[in-house]
A and B are shown apart, each in its own frame.
Chain A
Amino acid sequence: MDKTQMAAMLRDMLRARAFEEAAAQAYAQGHIAGFLHLYPGEEAVAVGVLHAAEPGDYVVSTYREHVHALVRGIPARQIMAELHGKKTGISGGMGGSMHLFDQDRRFLGGYAIVGETFPIALGAGYAVAYRKLPEAVLCFFGDGAVNQGTFHESLNMAALWKLPIFFICENNHYQIGTEIHRHSAITEVYKRACAYGIPAEKADGMDVIAVHEAAARALVRIRAGEGPQFLELETYRYRGHSMADSGSYRPNVELNAYQANDPIAAAVHEAEYPYPGIEAVAAASANSVTRFADHCCQEGHLDDATVERMRREVQEEVADAVTFAEQSAAPDMEDAWKAFRSNRRFETLMEVAR
């Protein structure tokens, strides 16, 4: 990984955190309504995975998808405007926080029904395989989602037909308020993939580099035609399940432990790591020597000032998005009917019937 890429990942993580905190604030002020599921704590997952993907890949997501959308390249303004229900939003104000869609960026949507992402990804993977295209389909889901029947049905078909699907489990340990040991017989989610012979791996979802490496490996195998791959990322959400939930069911020690292992702090640390002296390299064990040396030689490092500048820039970008959202016009009922009819394509239907 080179220095530019490292910097880009760090910037995306910082932007994600700033975006979500701004959304929380807008919600508290009553500018955003409905359900709002935020991502702080889990940034390394979206950033690590999506930076390993190609622009031609497809992404299927859940209701906790703002950051997936953001990292995918949808402008903060359009996401924030959608959260505000405005006409300038990426779904024209018809979708809201849980339903961000962007055809141009191959973002196949956020789905609010747990378990729906699997068949959508299955279908997308089928279409890609059918046309013999080189793309992959990235399917994000939570640890709670794997108990839905569609998970098993879709994994079976994906494996059976060797579809180019990358299943990415964001294991944040909770299904709303139910902790994983109380909702899953097998709490190491990746092990479930073995029932379908899908290669599966688990990585530290608080460490963006580990996530990136594991995702890159899986994507290489998918592009080599080896069929679906599975990656479990252990992570944690700092906030409650949604803005309606304070998360009071979680022990403080648990939250504190994960916050101490903050993915952004870790990324900053990694990015700022000073170039080690020869002794330091030599003092490390054999394995880490090579890894360390490679890492540092290729990347160099960022400094404090650069990181601070980044923080400022993303704050400004997000503040601009909020202003844009607030000042954007609301859609009217005509827009709603237009959105609806464009889905139904009445005209075409009539022609075919004749």
Chain B
Amino acid sequence: MSEMFYWQALNRAMDAEMAADETVLTLGEDVGLYGGTYRVTEGLMAKYGEWRVRDTPISENSFTGLGVGAAMLGLRPVVEIMTINFALFAMDAIVNMAAKIPFMSGGQFPMPLTIRMPGGVAKQLGAQHSQRLEHMLMNVPGLRMAVPATPQDAYWQLRQAIRSDDPVIVLEHELLYFSKGGVDEMISAPPIHQALVRRQGRDITCVAYSRMLPLALQAAEALAAEGIELTVIDLRSLSPIDWDTCIAAVEQTHRCLIVEEDCRFAGAGAELAATLQEHCFYLLDAPIRRVAGMDIPTPFNGTLEAASIPQADDIVQAARQMMARNGAVR
């Protein structure tokens, strides 16, 4: 077990898979000589050469489509899209090609394609560079989506994604790249889509993922001091979702709070709330509640930017209200 940054964990995972299997290759803007904008592909070009670590032009749809074609011929491409905001150009390749080809070919063509992309609200990058958009991809049958929140998961899940014969999106978070944590490269990993209970509590099940996980844990810490105990679940995967882990936790706490950074309206939280409600209605002591980003493009101004997305304190407030009013939401 060694301590490392999230980006380093991803880098190690890439390296391990590239060393183990020569059909694994990576491509994207500035992944080669430059080493990747978030350093994830650093050093790989020197080690594996240009045909396995390819700098591409700014042509997201076509180079993601290239990944699809190469996967049809049995390669295991890892496409890096510099940020999810630019994946909108590649939606055709992702939605119409990668997600459909295995199905449309009657299973003839597996799709061992991994698409890595950072997303999220970082620090004052403006509305066009501050999106998550996971809800758009969650709605596409045929795609898997991993949302690692820790270096350990970044490592495990990227390796699993590369080995998977399904198309997998690995959604990273720009503010997590420089977070540190332990990575054990030897132990066997839980399945890529399994949710993990990061903290056990009696009062509320808080479902979080990606960058909202550390915030939820921070809020849980603060709430514990005043006697409110949170179970914090790290979803780890948004497609598919590990409902069993969520339901089992709600069975114990009878309350459920969902935290997401993306806009609230029609977001990932809406899906979580609706489905958990179907399964847990008779178990609940309070309506399921969501803490989410505001339904507004992210303002550039730093104070407003922070105000437009959940902070640990918003989670604390919501949890307090759920306990105090026994769930009556304003």
Which residues from chain A sit less than 8 Å from chain B, CB to CB? 33-35, 82, 85-86, 91, 93-99, 111-115, 144-145, 147-149, 175-178, 182-184, 249, 330-333, 335-337, 339-340
B299 & A94 in contact (Cβ 8 Å cutoff): yes
Say yes or no: B30 contacts A111, CB within 8 Å. Answer: no
Q: Is B301 a contact of A177 with CB atoms below 8 Å? A: no
Q: Is the CB of B296 within 8 A of A149?
A: no
Which chain B residues numbered 248 to 280 have a C-beta less than 8 Å away from chain A? none
User: Is B69's CB within 8 Å of the partner chain A?
Assistant: no
Find out whether the CB atom of B58 lies under 8 angstroms from the CB atom of A114: yes
Give which listed residue, B32, B55, B127, B129, contacts A94 with CB less than 8 A: B127
B62 in complex: contacting residue of A144, A149, A333, CB < 8 Å: A149
A147 to chain B, nearest CB (A): 3
- Check A97 against B126 for contact (C-beta < 8 Å): yes
Most buried by A among B56, B88, B299, B307: B299
Q: A145-B58, A148-B58, A249-B34 are in contact. Are A95 and B85 (CB under 8 A)?
A: no
Q: Which 6 A-B pairs give the minimum distances between C-beta atoms? A: A96-B300, A147-B57, A177-B34, A34-B124, A33-B124, A85-B301
Q: How many A-B residue pairs have CB under 8 A?
A: 118
Nearest CB to that of B61 among chain A residues? A149
* Interface check B243, CB cutoff 8 A: no
Residues of B in contact with A, size category: 35 or more
Q: Does B191 contact A (CB under 8 A)?
A: no
Taking a contact as CB atoms under 8 Å apart, the answer to whether B126 and A96 are in contact is: yes
A104 to B218, CA, bound (A): 47
Within 8 A of A (CB), among B102-158: 123-129
Q: Mark B27-40, 1 if CB is under 8 A from A, else 0.
A: 00110111001000
Interchain CA distance A184-B299 in the complex, whole Å: 35
Of the candidates B30, B85, B123, the one whose C-beta lies within 8 Å of that of A34 is B123
**Could you pull out 25 A-B pairs where Cβ atoms are within 8 angstroms?**
A33-B302, A34-B125, A86-B301, A91-B300, A98-B126, A112-B126, A113-B85, A115-B89, A147-B57, A147-B59, A148-B59, A148-B89, A149-B89, A176-B29, A178-B29, A178-B32, A178-B57, A184-B57, A249-B34, A330-B301, A330-B304, A331-B301, A331-B304, A332-B304, A336-B299
How distant is A173 from chain B, measured CB to nearest CB, in Å? 14
Closest to B85 in A: A113
Say whether B128 contacts A340, CB under 8 Å. no
List B contacts of A91 (CB < 8 A).
300
Contacts of A115 in B (CB 8 A): 58, 89
CB of B308 within 8 A of chain A? yes
By a CB distance below 8 angstroms, the chain A residues around B296 are: 336-337, 340
| Residue numbers in B under 8 Å from A183 (CB-CB) | 55-58
